Structure formats: C-alpha cells, structure tokens
A and B are shown apart, each in its own frame.
Chain A
Amino acid sequence: MTERTKRLRDKSLAARPSISAERARLMTDFYRANLGKLSAPVMRAESFRHLCREKTIYIGDDELIVGERGPFPKAVPTYPELTCHSLGDLRILSTRPKTHYDVDDECLRIYEQEVIPYWRGRSMRDRLFERMTEDWKAAYEAGMFTEFMEQRAPGHTVLDDKIYFKGMVDFRADIARALAELDFLNDPEAYEKSQALRSFDIACDAAILFADRHAALAREIAHNETEPTRKSGLEKIVQACSRVPAYAPRDFHEALQSYWFCHLAVITELNGWDSFNPGHLDQHLLPFYEKGLADGSLTRESARELLECFFIKFNNHPAPPKVGVTAAESGTYTDFANINIGGLLRDGADGSNEVSHILLDIVDEMHLLQPSTNIQLSSKSPEKFLKHALKVIRQGYGFPSIFNADTVVLEQVRQGKTLEDARAGGCSGCVEVGAFGKEAFILTGYFNMVKVLELALHNGIEPKTGKRLGPATGEPDSFHSFEDVFQAWRLQFQHFLDVKLRGNQVIERMYAQDMPAPFLSVLTDDCIAKGRDYNAGGARYNNSYIQFVGLGSLTDSFGAIREMCFDGERGGLRVGELVAVLDRDFEGCESLRQRLVNKTRKYGNDDDEADRVMVRIFNTCFEELDGKPNTKGGHYRVEMLPTTCHVYFGSVTGAMPDGRRAGLPLSEGISPVQGADRRGPTAVIKSAAKLDHVKAGGTLLNMKFTPSLVAGEEGVEKWGHLVRSYFKLGGHHVQFNVVGAETLREAQKDPEKYRDLIVRVAGYSDYFCDLSAALQEEIIARTEHEGF
C-alpha cells in the first residue's frame, strides 16, 4: 500500500456504518409528485435521474476513484419502494450488537413523518405478502423456504467488458436506433418497448449527470487546493469524471472510474441482490494496463495504487440492512460483489495475466471485507497463478475462493448459452454461475430440504404447532421400507417446491411490471435490442435459481433411518419409535443419539453407500426443478448454496435422525455435516464430486485447514494438487479456511484483539467477531483436517 491508500484504508475501516434517509426522502418526494403521470419504466428512470441530480456528492481527501452511494462512506441508503423499514426496525439496527448501523434522530423523524406514511402498504414487500396464498405464507413462516425479493430486487448480475469500449453516449445511439425501428403497425408490444427504451435513455442521461456533478465538485476543490500533488490528482479526477461514463475510457484510471460510476448507478437505482460486480476485472483492465506501461503514463505501482483506491470504494459500501427473517439468514455487512480473477478468454485461452497477480497482491495486503474475490482456475491456468492464490488463502483471511472455470463453462453451456458467452461468464455472489453482461440470473430463495423430512416423518403436520402444513404422506409406522420414507419425502418436497414456484411466478411478474431497472438494462445485453427491461426478460439469458440447503444433514438422516430401521443386521427400531425420540429432542435417549452420530454411515467419507443417497437427493432436486419455465422466457435451475441460511433453517427444524439436536445449524452447501467427515480431505472431495456439478448452477464446498497442513512450499504444492484433483473430478467450487481452532477461541474471548480476523463463512468471508455466537461455534466445529 502507498501512504495514500494506507490512509484511505484506515478511514474506511474506522467509518461506522450508518443509515442515510436521503435516498428514501428524495424517492418519496418524487413519487408523491409524479405517481400516475408516467409509465412504470419512465417513472423508475425519472426517479433515478432525480436521485442523480439531487443526492449529496462526496469526494474525500486522498481519493483518486470517486463516488459514494450515500452522502459519505458507509452511509447506507434505504429503498422504501422495495422494503420500508419500520421505526422498530431502525431502532433494532442501531442497538443490535452485531452488524450495527447508526441511525440518528433526523433519520427517524424523516421515516416517521414522510417515508413510512407514504410507503406502508405500497412497498414491494408489503404488496408481495398481500398477494401470496395462505399455503405460501404458512410454509414461509414455518421456515420451509425464504423469498429473496421480499427485501431486495432481483440481482446477482455482473458486468462484462462493454463499458470499456462504449460510453453512455454510444448506448443512447443504440437506444435511438431501436426506438426508430419500432414497428407500431405490426408489433403489439411496440408501445411497451418504446416506454422501456425511453426509460433506458433517461437512465443513461442520469448517469452522465451524476458523473458531471463529480467533475464540478472536483474542479471546485481543486481550485482551492494548494498542495501540488493533490491538486494534480484532483485535476485527473475532473478529467476522468468529465469523460466517463459518457464516453469510453481512455486509460486505466478512467476505466476504473467508469466501472465505479456504473456500479453506483446500478446500486442507487435499485437494491439488487449482491450489489453489482465488475466480473473479469483483470481481463478488462489488461489493455489499459499494457497501453499505460507502453506510453509511460502508468507503472505497476501506480496501477496498483489505483486498484487499491478502487477496492476501498467497495469496502465503503456495506450491504443495505434487511428486516425480518432475512435479517437472521444473512447478518453481514458484505454485499457479495465478487471479483473474478483468471479464468478463460472468449476463445478458450488462459485469461490470467499480470493484472491478476496485482489483484492477488492487493487481496493479500489489504485484508478488506469487501470486495470478495475468487480465482477461476481452469486446466490451462498456470501453476504460478494457483500457487500465488493459495499463498494468499493461506494467510487465513478467507479470500480468494476457488472455482473450476472449466466446469463453470460446462454448466452454462448445458443451460443453453453459447460457448463464448459461457467463457466470458463466471461466478458472482457466493458460487452462482452467470453469463456476465448478458444474463439475469436470479436467486429466488433458500429451500429447507431437512425440514421437508421432518414433515414427511410427521405425515405433513408441523410438529411445533400441530397444524397441517404439507400433504398427508403416511404415519411413520406405515413406512415398511426405506423407499417408503424416501417417497414420502419426495411428495412433501414436490408440494413445497410447487408452493414456492407459484409464489415466484407472481413475484417475477410484479417486478416486471412495477419495478423495472432501466440503468441495469442498458448494461445488460439484449435489453436494448429487445426493447425489454432486465426485470421483464430483456436479458439474453434468464435463469432463476432455488438454493437447496441441508444436503449433508438430509443424507445422513436418511442413512440413519435406513440403518436403524430397515437394515437387516442392525435395524429393528420402528420409524415411529425413532420419531418419538426426535420429538423429545433425544431427551433420555443420549445413548441412541450417540449411536446415530457415531455409528451410522456419513456423507463425506468417500463411502459409496452413504454418498449414493446424497446423489439421489441432488438428482431429485434437479429432476423436480431444472428446466421448469419462469415468466421471462428462461428456466429454473438448481443451486446448492446456503450463505448463512443453514443456521436459520436449523433453528426452525426439529431433531433429526442424524443425531442433530433441534435448533442447531444444518450442514452447509455440499459440505458434510460439521465433524462427520473423518477420513480427511481427499475423502471429502471424492464424496462431493459424486454429484454431477455440471447440472447445478453452483455448489459450495467448504473446507477448514489448519496452517500446519499447508506450511512451506511443499504444503502449497500438495494443496494445489488437491484442488486440481477436485476440479478434474468435476467439482465446481472449493474454499478454505486456514485457521487454528485455538485462534478462533481466542477471538471469541477477546474480540477487540481479533477484529480483523476474517473467516470464510459460506461462499463469502466475514469478520469472525461479527458472526453470531452460533455461527462462531459452527465454524470452530467444522472438521479440522490434520495431515497426520
């Protein structure tokens, strides 16, 4: 880091997250004045332009890359048109010990007097719950599934390379051409398209306006600046902000500033899931890097400093806080922007370059919570690249995670994308694949597969309330074989999946009609060509995901039922007896619980019999969901990802036959149940590779290594082989926590001292001390793979 970026980093780390009511107030004013006058797309675009025109502009000391979503760093705006926080919500945010946000009296006053009176009943969240069926609400409240769009807009979208050779002026020309070509005589949708295209044009103008205001402010500060270095820095800011994003960037600095304005515009327009993401940043920047080195305007060091400034910008933007169930499922400041490093080029060649190594160096040195980073490792990636990444991971800060670029391409080609689009795609959020710049790949909610078994074991009755939640699929003692149990689970699974999907279809249409995203549409192919919004199917590809949770817990529970109740030698326990024990949460049956935990086959040990059940569950998810149509001309796909939802789902799920007590977390991703894998990392990898990763849109495998296992050059080398082997077997993703349990215990005792301790949670990294006590315990409990 340079002195400048050290200061910027310190400032970013010290800044306290707070809630800013500015955006809510501006949005409320605009809606009050204009609702009903404009079509929905134009209304959204004009409200966005209003924000760009009116919001406070911030340029901090030392900054080279400028622009904040809020009025100053870590001031987080709210989106009352999506989710309107209550006064109670805001007070909780300002008083809860973890992931705290400051809320001042002025903010509370604005909310009480202006925001809440207007938006209560009008926000997407309020209207969405209004339109869900009783079945849906009952299942949602029981914790069968969650719903992403009740809090934030559809998102997970990543940018490709288009803004590096095109500016808003060029997009406006494309829009004008599309408008001119509309055929009102023959195309019944021509009017809708014209409104969408008009909204796109307004959004481009708004982004230019936003940049111009930064240029003006920088000019003003520069005018009064006497220190020559800073003055020239400010002049460069003026130059960049006057140029981008209106026109294509000319150099490295402008390229970063152009992306950053687009980033801010996307996350100001709407609060899409996982913010926004530059995707293959190293590949996009390489031409600017090489040009700068060649013409002498850039050095490796100055490029690195600019990138460091850019990274700090991400860190200044904590995720907008949630309310209700989702607050528990994802308690984090991280907004999941996940930069892809390495990967493949469009033509299939290795995509790693010198900028990839600079990015890895920055991750290694800066230890910021945001942005997340991952490496896309292909069979063509050089060893040097992999080893560099592993040495960064070894520091124990959880970054970067590792993806199999070859499988990522295959997954997308299976979904019907072109090979080139798939290669230019990658991963975002936690582990989700997408065609960058060309796809709306929407996560729609987590699905509690273990709770489904609980219902199957109770004939469709929720044991906690005694109320019927699912179909009657048989009393436990009517199951005469393992097949009977599995079929009952499958029937329940189909039922709740249907309930979830029916809700999804409604919600998707609500967003398509009422909540367009014009600026994001400008950046996403083929919205302009189709004259259709991103939220209405304008993207070239439109996959919707459901994320299934609890694969390991469910596998082990099924295995235990088979062994204890139906296995010739050891069986003999009636299913009804087992269920009665579960209903008592194993009270008075510790010996049986121990037997279930220790003496039944477990997923994660390369045990074919146990793993077969895992594969069968995964295939059931795939058969029941994959290829079902969404309302945008795309399809539903399977995702095996928990984020932190396995903790929430565990808290609403009773005791299970794998010996897990009621309320404890479920297994996460495709990782084995915490502590159930006892044959070391190769066995975990072999087990996890038995499912066909190509059929999913992302799987998450978490492994915890102690530093001793990866010490020295040789440790890194063997670790690299381990990763390569997993990917040769077709694995999608693996991430490593390199940390000793004693370090984590110390951190629990003395959080002050370990405030910078970042651990991988599930697809992303977080400050260990910010995690809930339950999640901290779980991270400690995850098997530590000792070498000997």
Chain B
Amino acid sequence: MRGSGKQAITGLITNIQRYSLQDGPGIRTTVFFKGCPLDCWWCHNPEGLSRRREVVTIANRCQQCGECIKACPEGVAQPGSSPAGSVCVRCGACIGACPTGARQFAGMTMTVDDVLWEIDRDRIFHDDSSGGVTFSGGEPLLQPEFLLALLHGCRHSGVRTAVDTCGFVNESTLLEVAAHADLILFDVKLLDDSKHRKFTGVSNAVILANLRRLCGRHPEVWLRVPVIPTVNDSPEDLEDMARFAASLSGIRQVSLLPYHRTGIQKFERLGREYRLPAIIPPSAAEMKAAADCFQAHGLKVKVGG
C-alpha cells in the first residue's frame, strides 16, 4: 500500500494498537488519533485529549540516572515525572537522552501512507478473522481530511473499517466519514445534559442529534456506553439509556464498557490531575445486570468492545 498517494496529508496519532480485540469484530488494528473535544473524567486514554504532542513519563521505569536533566535545554526536566504546566516546550531532548524509555512522546506525526502501511502489517489476521481497522482516539473526526484519506486507502485495499466517535462533531463531516466507513462505533455517555456538561465539559445536544441523523443513514452503528459507577450506573440511568437506544432505528449492537482504572496511571504519566474520586470498577454481576436491562428492550448487547 506504500506509495499509493496522499503522502502530503499527515495526522497526529498517539498509538497504533495491533491485536486489538475490543473495538469491533475480529482481530483489529486500532489507530488512536490525538485530540478530543470532550474531557471526560474517567478517560482511559488521556494522552489522546490534547491536540498537541506531549511528553509522558513512566515513573516505574525511571532509574533516576539524571540524563534528562543534563539534556533539557530549558532546565525543567525532572526525573520520574512529567513537567507540569507550560514550562516544558516539548522539544523531546529528554526523550532521546533517557536510556530506559521512561520518557516518551505521546503523539507522532504520521502520513497517510505510514498509517496504511502499519495497518497492512496485520492484513492476514484481519482477513482470517473478519476483523479490520478501527480509527479511535481521541476523536478521529477532529482530523477529518486525514481520516477520510485513510478510509479511502483502506477501501481501496479491501480493509474493513470502523470509526469510533464521541459524536461531538460537525454533522456534515460525520455523514461524509460514515459514508466511507463499514462500521460506526458511537459513544454516548450520559443522557442528562447537566451531568454531561459536568463530566465531559460539553453539552450532549449535538451528540444526540448527530446520532439520530446517523442511525437512519448508516447500516452498521454500534452504540458504546461506558458504565461508570456513581456517574451513570443507577438502574434509572441504565433504563433511560436502554429506552433511548431502543428508540433509535438501526442500532445494531450496544457495547457496555465497564469502567477501569488504567486511566489513573496515565493521567499521572502526563503530569495531570485525575478528577474522578476512587470508585470501584463494576463487577461482572453488575455488568450482567446492566446488559439484561438493554436486552429487555430487544437490543443486542455485549459487555466490552
């Protein structure tokens, strides 16, 4: 696929995850875009929030050798943690100097061809398992030109595609992207708008409107609902969400994603504060009860991706 054109378009990617089992059918490659219009408290990919390249520090890999201090032209590097606030200019000098790989960039600029080539590495697994590629994030639709070029490239080479969106995007962009993707994974967090504003930073009006528009037009939309204890997991919350999902024509599947705490460590690595109080991830039994609630409305439900 390398050299199929569109070299000029680049995007900012945090990670390309191979053997991804959670983001659609089969064995998938998930491309995580960097930058998100939402700012969810429970985010488990906080490195995907900012639209800029960032420096992350994996504390338990740091051996306090001090190479980063020597390398930092600004004099702000601290071994074992990422510099908070705006003092760091993200030049990456400390990353090159760090011998253990404790210091890394979150965010790499890649061309369309770079990404397509990386997707192509696992073609045989996609083909055998009816899997494919999932564009996720962050919010892939924040980089629409890049995303569309990738979708075109995949269609050209026969790779099945999924786009995972938070829905807080321009409607026409969403519909254009949807026209070129085989599957849309549409995230809805909360139906109560004031709670939505509190926990994600934005109103859900656009999101819900977009979802309604999309459902009539795309044959394969999966609703993805994170189940966050104390935030949206009360029986009433779940019942409301299930009723809402059932009211939409064309939701093929609902994926209930249990809250997990891997995000806490990631926020630390970025030198940022985790706002959610200590909550316990839902048990298997609780997830089963949540799934039953959706099933009762005639929906196909899956726990996990």
Q: Which residues of A does B touch, CB under 8 Å?
A: 590-592, 594-595, 597-599, 606, 679-683, 686, 709, 714-715, 717-718, 721-722, 724-725, 728-729, 785, 787-788
Contact = CB atoms under 8 A, between A and B. Distances in A.
B111 interface: no
B209 interface: no
A788 B22 contact: yes
A599 B26 CA distance: 32
A729 B128 CA distance: 12
A788 B20 contact: yes
Interface string B121-133: 1101100110100
A729 B124 CA distance: 8
A778 B131 CA distance: 33
A686 B118 CA distance: 12
Given A682-B122, A722-B19, A787-B20, A595 B128 contact: no
A686 B67 contact: no
Contact of A718 (B27, B65, B100, B101): B27
A599 B100 CA distance: 7
16 contacts: A591-B65, A591-B67, A592-B99, A594-B99, A594-B100, A598-B100, A606-B121, A679-B18, A680-B17, A680-B18, A681-B19, A682-B27, A721-B125, A722-B19, A787-B22, A788-B22
B108 interface: no
Contacts of B128: 721, 724-725, 728
A725 B124 contact: yes
Given A599-B101, A682-B122, A721-B128, A590 B65 contact: yes
Nearest to A715: B21
Contacts of B18: 606, 679-680, 682-683
A709 B21 contact: yes
Contacts of A598: 99-101
A788 B125 contact: no
Interface residues of B, number: 21
Contacts of A728: 124, 128
A193 B63 CA distance: 70
Contacts of A785: 19
Interface string B241-270: 000000000000000000000000000000
Interface string B1-32: 00000000000000001111110001100000
Interface string B60-104: 000101010000000000000000000000000000000111000
Contacts of A591: 65, 67, 99
A590 B100 CA distance: 10
A722 B27 contact: yes
A176 to B, nearest CB: 55
A681 B122 CA distance: 11
A2 B101 CA distance: 55
A595 B99 contact: yes
A718 B21 contact: yes
Contacts of B63: 590, 594
Contacts of B21: 709, 714-715, 718, 787-788
Contacts of B122: 682, 686
Nearest to B121: A606
Contact of A682 (B67, B101, B125): B125
A717 B17 CA distance: 20
Contacts of B67: 591
A681 B20 CA distance: 10
Interface of B: 17-22, 26-27, 63, 65, 67, 99-101, 121-122, 124-125, 128-129, 131
A682 B17 CA distance: 10
A729 B122 CA distance: 11
Nearest to A785: B19
Nearest to A594: B99
Contacts of A594: 63, 65, 99-100
Interface centre among A592, A682, A724 (most CB of B within 10 A): A682
Nearest to B67: A591
Closest 4 CB pairs of A and B: A721-B129, A594-B99, A598-B101, A595-B99
A725 B100 contact: no
A590 B67 CA distance: 12
A186 B139 CA distance: 86
B222 to A, nearest CB: 15
A599 B99 contact: yes
A686 B124 CA distance: 10
A606 B29 CA distance: 14
Contacts of A683: 18-19, 121
Nearest to B302: A714
A686 B27 contact: no
A399 B125 CA distance: 24
B69 to A, nearest CB: 13
Interface centre among A592, A680, A785 (most CB of B within 10 A): A680
A713 to B, nearest CB: 12
Contacts of B65: 590-591, 594
A785 B99 CA distance: 24
Given A598-B100, A788-B21, A718 B129 contact: yes
A721 B129 CA distance: 6
Interface centre among A594, A686, A724 (most CB of B within 10 A): A594
A212 B79 CA distance: 78
A788 B99 contact: no
B17 A788 contact: yes
Contacts of B17: 680, 788
Contacts of A725: 124-125, 128-129
Nearest to A606: B121
A222 B52 CA distance: 85
Given A679-B18, A682-B27, A725-B125, 7 more contacts: A590-B63, A597-B100, A599-B101, A681-B19, A682-B125, A722-B27, A724-B128
A709 B100 CA distance: 28
A239 B68 CA distance: 80
A769 to B, nearest CB: 29
Contacts of A606: 18, 121
A592 B67 CA distance: 11
B99 A721 contact: no
A37 to B, nearest CB: 64
Contacts of A715: 21
Nearest to A681: B19
A680 B28 CA distance: 12
A599 B95 CA distance: 11
Contacts of A724: 128
A753 to B, nearest CB: 25
Given A590-B63, A595-B99, A788-B17, A686 B121 contact: yes
B27 to A, nearest CB: 6
A385 to B, nearest CB: 17
A682 B123 CA distance: 10
Contacts of A729: 124
A680 B19 contact: yes
Nearest to B22: A788
A718 B25 CA distance: 9
Contacts of A787: 19-22
